[in-house]
Amino acid sequence: MSNVKNYTEQGGEKTVIGGELLITAEGKLTFDGVEVKPSALQADSTAADVPALVSDFNALLAKLKAAGLMESE
């Protein structure tokens, strides 16, 4: 039995991270050629009606798309 937490299975098709994956400031994470980065902060909604809530929600979606965490179209 092995106590290795991070490993790549034989053939390289699957990598398992059971420990911490640390990406330094010089490194980057890409998915399908698009860099994935933390999203900008979205403040808690204080919407008092549905149109204001829609506006807050759309702002969140825009930030997720800008960060590469959601496809644009």
- The token duo for 65 is 């798309």
Mean pLDDT of the 20-46 span? 90
- The token duo for 1 is 């039995």
**pLDDT at position 1, please?**
54
What is the residue-wise DSSP string for 17-49?
Answer: E-S-----TT--EEETTEEE-PPPP-PPP--SS
**pLDDT at position 55, please?**
97
Q: Strand 6-8 to strand 15-17: parallel, antiparallel, or no bridges (unpaired)?
A: antiparallel
Span 35-61, pLDDT tens digits: 888 899 999 999 999 999 999 999 999
**8 Å CB contact between 20 and 26:** no
